[in-house]
């Protein structure tokens, strides 16, 4: 087991510290991996020789252009190869939540762009150290509860199957953005707050597997594992490319408070240090990237969009993470069965994600996913 914390470093703001000043901030929270939404050369240079691993991004606006291998190779040369090996770029994610924009031209460009970028890496002799993937919204799932019934949306299965085959052939991870916050915000009277915040609670039992879940994120991850397994991709690694909780929101954004953000992110970081996986995959690494490093003041949308940061732009914590102790956190118990959990009543879960940092678009979520 080698759980390590990742952090999303979005920059839709006009008041963030210089990349050089961000290096100690990243190290202060114990993050060893950073995900960018572009390939900002100033950031990549600032983190040279720090040992921090990077995922760099190609925004949705690049997909059509990247279908051309020559253009993809020029981009990789300039934005990836030029920073290696000093900066540890290990992955390129091509497009963010593309399949849930309901944009056919975008969806049709996704796999060709991924293949083109991979071919560029092969041509440059970098494919063994840099993988190619894309990040998906949890709303690619048709069902997510109970986790054993996790399944992809029928209309996306053909497109996803081709992408999954690419992952398997190239050894790249499957990235998913998962936000229990939206499940709670959508149904605060039915979704137990402690269950989404990793606080002690009686949890739920998946009736098909008898596995006990005491937090929603692990249930969502296992739903993704089951959806992958149902298409024949049982061994594909799943990374949580975004998850987080806002410390402030509009009046109708129930649960968006500093206290809840502290519990969610603080407990999540403690859990990751425990070196355990999910109930269904207790021995698999948890690769989780917290969203986000900073509050970003220029993001569109509701107030919560500008308040996902662990830090304020001046480098001070947005709230205390309280990660010095590891006691009293749900999620460390991955035992099966028992009477300490019970199935919950049906709860509709809108599995959307915050505005993409790469494009500023709002995610479009389909019909709600049933929660038991």
User: What b/e string do you get for 9-29 counting C-beta neighbours within 10 Å, with b at 16 or more?
Assistant: bbbbeeebbebeebbebbeeb
On whether the CB atoms of residues 29 and 7 are closer than 8 A, the answer is yes
* Alpha-carbon distances, residue 290 vs 15, 78, 126, 203 (angstroms): 21, 28, 27, 23
Q: Which of 97, 142, 296, 305 is catalytic?
A: 97
Give catalytic status of residue 53 as yes or no. Answer: no
**273 Cβ contact partners less than 8 Å away, ≥ 6 residues apart:** 3, 326
From the number of C-beta atoms within 10 Å of its C-beta (0-12, 13-18, 19+), residue 358 rates as buried
**137 Cβ contact partners less than 8 Å away, ≥ 6 residues apart:** 97, 99, 100, 176, 177, 351, 352, 353, 363, 365
Q: Which of 20, 61, 154, 242 is catalytic?
A: 242
Rounded distance between C-alpha atoms, residue 134 and residue 352, angstroms? 17
Neighbour count for residue 317 (Cβ, 10 Å): 14
DSSP calls for 31-79: --EEEESS--HHHHHHTTTS--EEEEEE-GGGHHHHTSHHHHHHHHHHH
Q: Which helix (H) or strand (E) holds 186?
A: helix 180-186
Q: What is the largest CA-CA distance in the chain?
A: 59
On whether the CB atoms of residues 182 and 191 are closer than 8 A, the answer is no
On whether the CB atoms of residues 186 and 349 are closer than 8 A, the answer is yes
Rounded distance between C-alpha atoms, residue 169 and residue 323, angstroms? 39
Per DSSP, what are the bridge partners of residue 238? Answer: 174
Radius of gyration of the chain, Cα coordinates, nearest whole angstrom: 19
Give catalytic status of residue 154 as yes or no. Answer: no
Active site residues per annotation: 97, 242
């Amino acid at each position: 087991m080698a759980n390590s914390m990742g952090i999303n470093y979005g920059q839709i703001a006009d008041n963030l510290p210089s990349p050089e000043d961000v290096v100690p901030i990243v190290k202060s929270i114990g993050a060893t991996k950073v995900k960018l939404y572009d390939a900002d050369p100033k950031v990549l240079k600032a983190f040279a020789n720090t040992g921090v691993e990077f995922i760099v991004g190609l925004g949705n606006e690049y997909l059509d252009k990247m279908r051309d291998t020559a253009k993809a190779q020029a981009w990789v040369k300039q934005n990836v190869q030029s920073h290696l090996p000093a900066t540890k770029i290990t992955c390129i994610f091509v497009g963010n939540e593309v399949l849930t924009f309901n944009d056919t031209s975008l969806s049709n460009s996704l796999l060709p762009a991924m293949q083109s970028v991979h071919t560029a890496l092969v041509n440059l002799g970098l494919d063994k150290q840099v993988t190619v993937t894309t990040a998906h919204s949890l709303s690619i799932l048709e069902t997510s509860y109970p986790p054993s019934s996790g399944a992809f949306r029928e209309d996306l299965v053909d497109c996803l199957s081709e992408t999954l085959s690419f992952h398997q052939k190239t050894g790249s991870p499957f990235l998913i953005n998962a936000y229990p916050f939206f499940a709670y915000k959508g149904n605060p009277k039915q979704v137990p707050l402690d269950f989404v915040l990793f606080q002690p609670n009686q949890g739920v039992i998946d009736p098909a597997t008898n596995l006990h879940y005491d937090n929603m994120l692990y249930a969502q991850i296992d739903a993704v594992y089951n959806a992958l397994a149902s298409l024949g991709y049982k061994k594909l690694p799943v990374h949580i490319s975004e998850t987080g909780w806002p410390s402030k929101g509009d009046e109708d954004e129930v649960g968006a408070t500093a206290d809840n953000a502290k519990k969610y992110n603080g407990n999540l970081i403690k859990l990751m240090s425990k070196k355990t996986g999910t109930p269904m995959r207790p021995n698999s690494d948890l690769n989780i990237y917290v969203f986000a490093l900073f509050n970003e003041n220029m993001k569109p949308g509701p107030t919560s969009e500008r308040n996902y940061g662990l830090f304020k732009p001046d480098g001070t914590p947005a709230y205390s993470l309280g990660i010095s102790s590891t006691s009293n956190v749900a999620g460390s118990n991955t035992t099966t069965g028992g009477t300490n959990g019970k199935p919950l009543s049906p709860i509709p879960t809108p599995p959307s994600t915050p505005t993409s940092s790469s494009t500023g678009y709002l995610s479009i979520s389909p019909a709600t996913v049933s929660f038991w």
